[in-house]
């Protein structure tokens, strides 16, 4: 069953309330979904505690993982902010990587994969081999993105992650209902990026399961 570890709600720039996002994900066959709204130093104290409340939806729907996507955080502060997010109750920390379609600060990828509090580096663009090696060493998963624009470099990310032995995950980065991906669509994104059958199984199932294993029943 599908696990998506990167989505957004009205707590940042998404269109859906947490309840509707979770219900729609459930109807698409998801086993778990992480709510990872955008946050920086100005709003993290508001965003994360409210997302944590959404974990209560797990009682009625599917497993809901409270998280955050640190976005445009100065690279020197990424580790500190990731640690703070975890202290506020975030079970997963995603960092908004150096996508080629937005002006993300240089060294964001590097500082993200160096942090022991970061779980996923989202849409990392032209991540360097050294950064991918650091991600592998620290267990930070690199995202293969289902979102238009961010996915332009998916093939490059796959090749770089493969060479470094870094883990990969396939996420929707959903902001609207149509962005959510069922298992079939997520598999197409992965296969289109060049994942082998074994890599695809890992990116869709074993790797995301390992990241949130402590929350799955």
The structural domain count of the chain equals 1
pLDDT for 216? 87
SS3 state of residue 143: strand
DSSP class per residue in 4-71? E--B--TTTT-SS-HHHHHHHHHHTTEEEEEE--EE-TTTHHHHHHHHHHGGGGGGTSSEEEEEEEE-
Q: How confident is the model over 60-76, as pLDDT tens digits?
A: 999 999 999 999 999 99
What value does the mean pLDDT of the chain take?
97
CATH of the domain at 52: 3.20.20.140
pLDDT for 103? 97
User: Contact at 8 Å (CB) between 166 and 141?
Assistant: yes
- Angstrom CA distances, 144 to 84, 85, 153, stand at 26, 23, 9
pLDDT at 217 over 90: no
Q: What are phi and psi of 94, to 5 degrees?
A: -110, 140
Q: How confident is the model over 44-61, as pLDDT tens digits?
A: 999 999 999 999 999 999
Cβ-proximal residues to 157 (8 Å cutoff; 6+ apart), any chain: 124, 125, 127, 142, 143, 144, 168, 193
pLDDT for 201? 98
Residue 135 domain boundaries: 2-215
Tokens of 166: 């870094």
Percent of the chain with pLDDT over 70: 100
Q: How confident is the model over 114-128, as pLDDT tens digits?
A: 999 999 999 999 999
| DSSP H or E segment with residue 157 | helix 154-164
Give the pLDDT band (50/70/90) at residue 196.
Answer: very high
pLDDT at 189 over 80: yes
pLDDT at 1 over 90: no
């Amino acid at each position: 069953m599908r696990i998506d570890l990167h989505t957004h709600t009205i707590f940042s720039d998404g269109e859906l309330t947490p309840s509707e996002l979770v219900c729609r994900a459930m109807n698409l066959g998801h086993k778990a979904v992480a709510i990872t709204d955008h946050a920086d130093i100005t709003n993290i104290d508001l965003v994360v505690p409210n997302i944590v409340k959404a974990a209560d939806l797990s009682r009625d729907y599917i497993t809901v993982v409270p998280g955050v996507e640190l976005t445009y955080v100065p690279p020197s502060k990424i580790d500190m902010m990731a640690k703070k997010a975890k202290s506020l109750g975030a079970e997963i920390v995603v960092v908004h990587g150096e996508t080629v379609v937005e002006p993300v600060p240089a060294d964001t990828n590097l500082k993200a994969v160096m942090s022991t509090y970061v779980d996923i580096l989202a849409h990392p663009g032209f991540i360097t081999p050294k950064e991918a090696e650091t991600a592998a060493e620290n267990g930070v998963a690199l995202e293969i993105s289902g979102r238009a624009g961010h996915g332009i470099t998916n093939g490059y990310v796959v090749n770089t992650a493969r060479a470094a032995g870094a883990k990969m995950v396939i996420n929707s980065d959903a902001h609207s209902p149509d962005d959510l991906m069922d298992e079939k669509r997520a598999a197409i994104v992965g296969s289109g990026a060049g994942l082998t059958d074994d890599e695809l199984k890992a990116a869709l199932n074993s790797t995301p399961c390992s990241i949130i294993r402590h929350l799955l029943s």
